[in-house]
Structure 1
Amino acid sequence: MYFLLMSYVCGIVLLPLRLSGPEGSCSGRLEVYHNAAWGSICDDQWVIRDAEVVCRQLGCGKALSANGSAAFGAGEGVIWLNRVECRGDEIHLWDCSYSLKNHTDCSHKEDAGVTCADTVRLVNGSSRCAGRVETLYGEEWGTACEDDWDMKNAAVVCRELGCGEAVDVLGNAHFGQGSGRIWPHQRFRCRGNESQIHLCSSSSTLKQNCFNDSDVGLVCADSLRLVDGSSRCAGRVEVLHRGQWGTVCDDDWDMRDAAVVCRELGCGEAVDVLGDAHFGPGSGPIWMDDVDCSGSESTLKNCASAGWGKHNCNQTKNVGVICSGKLYYFCNECNSQLLY
């Protein structure tokens, strides 16, 4: 998730920021991109008001805490921001007061982070990529009625959670009944290409016959992942086939292939491709070799390759990818944020 590259393309300022850490996409060390390098933020004056702005900007719900003292691990490279002062009601972090430079008076032991509440989750399934749909409204989790839920809605939730493609929509409280409220505004009507469920249009009308025995559930494919990197958007490429995770050979692997992986995982743009098991060798089968994507495919399995399990390499040739994360653009003319 991302902030701060001061470049202009067609009147749009690209301002990336991201959360990097093991706690998930809505918690982690806060990093910004400036002068072609990712850097961290010093925790001087870092308080919950600042975290509220970050969580709001990233669509991650309520800020639970503003973390200091490198709570999510020490970063590397430059410390770009210090003395951030937000009121708490700003729309973007760059609307706050801050000092932007190479802060050599602050060490990475003082890296700032945030813990936000996710806005959507899947509960009671066999993995985080299957279960009852629950969304956050204010400070309370609630369920969604199965009415009007279809594969387009499911595709958005699976993408937002980094769980690959939507496999199935299940009604009748397939994953058990929720105990919270059924949100009236959760009758979503997604086109299917939205990056987050709250960006879909919705209805405020709730049918009188909708109870928790009609809670909707989803199953996502979770057929692609990045492993052993610093976040879920960087690491060794692994794919799920016939119920078993396996690796991908770096033969002919390029930025077009990486672009498909990053898009499928909801991780923004491809930043780098790393071969020779840069993130460590995997185990199990090598599922894909000679991958050749055009770059426009929606999922890696749609790209040309030598065929499942057909290869002439070993685990020392595992390919890795680094993605930018979710990218946010600020439009000068319309004074609004656009999510890529």
Structure 2
Amino acid sequence: MLRMMGRCPMFIILSAVVIIITADRVNVRLVGGHSRCAGTVEVLHRGQWGTVCDLAWDLAEAAVVCKELGCGEPVDALGNAHFGQGSGPIWMSFVRCIGFESTLKDCRSAGWDQNICNHANDAGVICSGVRLVGGSRCSGRLEILHDQTWMSVCDAVFDQQDAEVVCRELDCGAPVQVLGAAAFDKGDTQMWTQEIQCKGNESQIHLCPTSPSHENNCSYENDVGLMCAEIINVRLVNGNNPCSGTVEVHHRGQWGTVCGDGWDLAAAAVVCRELDCGDPVDALSDAQVGLGSGPVWMNNAICSGSESTLKKCGSVIWGFQGVCQSKSAGVICSGVRLVGGSHCSGRLEILHDQTWMSVCAAVFDQQDAEVVCRELDCGAPVQVLGAAAFDKGDAQMWTQEIQCRGNESQIHLCPTSLSHKYNCSHDNDVGLVCADRVNVRLVGGHSRCAGRVEVLHRGQWGTVCDAAWDMTEAAVVCRELDCGEPVDALGDAYFGPGSGPIWTNRMLCTGSETTLKNCGSVQWFGYDCNHGTDAGVICSGELF
């Protein structure tokens, strides 16, 4: 009996160990593709594998799947049962990932087992299975995924045609250089020694034939390195300069447009930053920009505004056709910025021929300042300063005389003329202080911290629709107005109906934004709502 009692604790401890080890199971898999890194997405839930609906399925969700499987970067997010229809339950639909999740099951969705789709809508993913390490996204030591193991590649089995495939797979430009002699340091992974025999037109390195190679003496001294061109994945066309026009995205080797449905200032901010074009002036739909050509790659882009590239934003539908009402999204970026101060004050720099240039104080006056302050969505100019008031810049010097009338919407629309009479140097860099204009206000309440929400856009005050309006959005408004914490987020024109445009429909704030205009939204300048659904806020500050 004592002997049995002595064994029981050991049995319990061992059982606990078994539970801990077996609990770390894989919760997602890809089936029906050419490798474990491509196929229909299946999720394990309640002990049963089921599929995922392709509604709102895009590269943000694909990135989480590829990361979870240790499969490198996402190449494509696919729908319409691209790899064949699955069976069993459709576990997830309308999945919304932000890209930081460790597993797909941590992403938000419409709920488990909400069967609003059928298996003809099963989502799929293609992951790269190749990566460049020790450099940048488009350069580094080459590693290939084989049998769930990342392997370094011997330079003797890799050539220019293979490099073309890898660069294409990683959504980079053409190969610039193939390097040997461990140019990006020696790897500590296993060594891939099979000869890769790409023709050069394959979409992925795993689709290239291979053959055993015994004639090469491979070691980590022979790790292959690769430099691809850093391709631009977004551009603006048909505008009056490189920083305005119809948005086009490069995907699957082809330029296509972005649907204007749901296009907003948060998405425009990502495009302007990616193109180094300053801040967004406006987000436009095909009513204001020319129609694009080619496929419509993104529909209802959902950006937080902080993404480094538009392709990292979510979208309701990626790469599907025939679902867009406003055929083309457009952007106007400022092409002007104030450096070394705040958003509305600093040393003036103007973008010219894709180069930021400092401006000589002698060629800039009060009327020019009015245009710049308006373009940056700041108030009226407070002061124009010379003598490098915000330190000397190291950019090239703009010396043409700017001749604004003062009513232009952008500085690039002002006439200029060559001027040789001024002696300009960085000691004469012009600085500008604009009034830091408030872009949101609360109207109709008992204090400035309570009332109907109104937003200033395109020089006009308009309201906000109460669709999806909650305490997260209210928190941004209260912070922007320095009104403390949100007490309530209200709808149904609680503070009375407004007038004028309804600027936003269905705001999508994270709560950390500094201004409501930096939040995403399903649609700017949309009229799915009416003034009977104007949103309101009560903040804790100035309650009486």
Please give the TM-score of this superposition, normalised by the length of structure 2: 0.31
Query: TM-score scaled by structure 1?
Result: 0.47
Higher helix share: 2
Q: Higher relative CO (CA 8 A, sep ≥ 6), structure 1 or 2?
A: 1
